[in-house]
């Protein structure tokens, strides 16, 4: 491993000490809801919104068979903590006022139920993710950033329209397995993480990786990073801690720019 890569790894290891620890459920819930509202604002800022499509969820730390989600019809750009809905895996809105997006429940409930290690999931109809999804393939390791997804994402090639059937949610969850994301053919992207921070960051960088590959393929014949180097790079830029850490500057900026989202 190069000196630069070693330095990145050491810095990431040092970051372990600043991760939240020994918090109460109330403190964890507050942090997750604030990060969720911030992630939705960031998705709006980056243009990932498309009408009422798109949703991010985060598991409640105490009611682990419930998750927090954005209400349908509320703009990402205007989302506040107070807007969020708490939803049971049975589809009951137990806290908050607003409409529950049927596709959000169908997809996210199955993902959260299928893998207790998944704390959060993010999905939207972002432009480059949609375009790339129509190609029916996974990302190539063309850049350092794309290596985060090398052998760590899947193609779900069973599009059957708007996801309102639990069986399709089950198939998406099964296809994801232990991967950090999926390309939903003819649909878009979905990412998951052990933290809300990581799930949101994986979506942002996956969207940008789709954009980079589309540009590279339009310009010529891109050269992929060799297998062993791609795997090695994934260990640095694709770890859960790397995903968490990469989200922090974005969170700091959006909180400073739009502090009302914490209301």
**Average pLDDT of the chain to the nearest whole number:** 91
Q: What stretches of 83-136 show up as alpha helix (H) in DSSP? A: 102-114, 127-133
Is 111 in contact with 174 (CB distance < 8 Å)? Answer: no
Nearest to 105 by CA among 61, 77, 69: 69
217 backbone φψ class: left, alpha, beta (φ>0; ψ -120 to 50): alpha
For residue 161, what pLDDT is reported?
A: 61
160 falls in which pLDDT band (50, 70, 90)? low
- Dihedral angle, C-alpha 18, 176, 168, 46, nearest 10 °: 50
The per-residue pLDDT for range 35-62, each reduced to its tens digit, is 999 999 999 999 999 998 999 999 999 9
For residue 105, what pLDDT is reported?
A: 85
Query: Reduced to 3 states, what is the DSSP secondary structure of residue 103?
Result: helix
Is 26 in contact with 33 (CB distance < 8 Å)? Answer: no
Structural domains present in the chain: 24-262 (3.40.225.10)
- In this predicted structure, the answer to whether residue 163 has a pLDDT above a threshold of 70 is no
- In this predicted structure, the answer to whether residue 119 has a pLDDT above a threshold of 50 is yes
Per DSSP (E only), the strands in 15-144 are 55-59, 66-69, 85-88, 93-95, 120-124
- In this predicted structure, the answer to whether residue 138 has a pLDDT above a threshold of 80 is yes
What is the C-alpha separation between 118 and 134, in angstroms, rounded? 27
5 falls in which pLDDT band (50, 70, 90)? very low
The pTM of the full predicted model, rounded to 2 decimals, is: 0.91
75 falls in which pLDDT band (50, 70, 90)? very high
Distance of CA 185 to the CA centre of its chain: 17
For residue 14, what pLDDT is reported?
A: 45
For residue 78, what pLDDT is reported?
A: 97
What is the C-alpha separation between 249 and 233, in angstroms, rounded? 21
The per-residue pLDDT for range 197-221, each reduced to its tens digit, is 999 999 999 999 999 999 999 999 9
For residue 167, what pLDDT is reported?
A: 80
Determine the Cα angle at 48 with ends 79 and 260, to 5°.
20
For residue 9, what pLDDT is reported?
A: 44
Is 204 in contact with 198 (CB distance < 8 Å)? Answer: no
The per-residue pLDDT for range 169-186, each reduced to its tens digit, is 889 999 999 999 999 999
The b-or-e profile of 167-183 (16+ CB within 10 A means b, else e) is ebbbbbbebbeeebbbb
103 falls in which pLDDT band (50, 70, 90)? confident
Query: CB-based burial of residue 220 (10 Å sphere; 0-12 exposed, 13-18 middle, 19+ buried)?
Result: exposed
For residue 6, what pLDDT is reported?
A: 45
């Amino acid at each position: 491993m190069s000196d630069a890569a070693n330095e990145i790894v050491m810095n990431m290891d040092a970051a372990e000490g600043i991760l939240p620890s020994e918090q109460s459920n109330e403190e964890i819930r507050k942090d997750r809801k604030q990060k969720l509202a911030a992630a939705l604002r960031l998705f709006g800022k980056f243009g990932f919104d498309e009408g009422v499509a798109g949703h991010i969820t985060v598991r409640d730390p105490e009611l682990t068979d419930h998750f927090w989600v954005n209400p349908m019809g509320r703009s990402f750009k205007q989302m506040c903590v107070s807007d969020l809905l708490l939803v049971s895996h049975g589809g009951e809105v137990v806290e908050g006022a607003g409409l529950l997006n049927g596709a959000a429940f169908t997809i996210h409930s199955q993902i959260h139920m299928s893998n207790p290690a998944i704390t959060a999931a993010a999905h939207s109809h972002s432009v480059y993710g949609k375009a790339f999804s129509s190609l029916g393939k996974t990302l190539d390791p063309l850049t350092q950033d794309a290596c985060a997804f090398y052998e760590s994402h899947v193609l779900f090639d069973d599009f059957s329209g708007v996801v309102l059937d639990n069986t399709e949610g089950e198939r998406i969850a099964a296809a994801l397995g232990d991967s950090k994301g999926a390309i939903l053919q003819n649909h878009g992207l979905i990412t998951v993480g052990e933290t809300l921070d990581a799930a949101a960051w994986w979506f942002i960088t996956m969207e940008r990786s789709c954009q980079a590959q589309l540009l590279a393929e339009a310009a010529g014949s891109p050269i992929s990073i060799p297998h062993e180097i791609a795997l090695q790079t994934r260990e640095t830029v694709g770890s859960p801690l790397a995903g968490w850490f990469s989200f922090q500057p974005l969170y700091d900026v959006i909180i400073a720019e739009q502090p009302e989202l914490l209301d």
